[in-house]
Amino acid sequence: MSLSPLLPCPASLSFRRSAAPLVLVLLFLGGVFPGLSTAQATNATQPATALSQAVRQEIEAQRQAGRWTEEKQAVIQKLLDLKTRLAWTEFKNRQLTASTQRTRLELERVRQENENLKALRRHLAPSLETVIEELATLVENDLAFLESERRDRLAFLRQSVLDAELDLATRLDRVLQGLLVEASYAGDIALHTTRLERGTSSLQVRLLRLGRLGKYYLSLDGSHGGWWDAREQQWRDLPGSLLPELRRAYAIAEDRAAAEFVSLPLPHSGSATEEDR
| Chain mean pLDDT for the chain | 81
Say if pTM beats, i.e. exceeds, 0.75: no
The shares of helix, strand and coil residues in the chain, as percent rounded to the nearest 5, are 65, 15, 20
Strands (E), 17-110: none
Give how far Cα 32 sits from Cα of 27, 29, 191, Å. Answer: 9, 5, 164
In whole angstroms, give the CA distance from residue 177 to residue 249.
30
Q: Is the dihedral of CA 96, 101, 107, 110 positive or negative?
A: negative
Q: What's the pLDDT tens digit per position in 159-214?
A: 999 998 998 889 999 999 999 999 999 888 889 899 988 777 888 999 999 888 89
Average pLDDT value for residue range 100-111: 94
Residue 2 — very low, low, confident or very high, per pLDDT cuts 50/70/90?
Answer: very low
Question: Is 198 strand, coil or helix?
Answer: strand
Q: What per-residue confidence (pLDDT) applies to 207?
A: 92
Question: What is the maximum span of the chain, computed from C-alpha positions, in angstroms?
Answer: 196
Strand order in the sheet with 234-237: 189-198, 201-210, 214-219, 225-229, 234-237
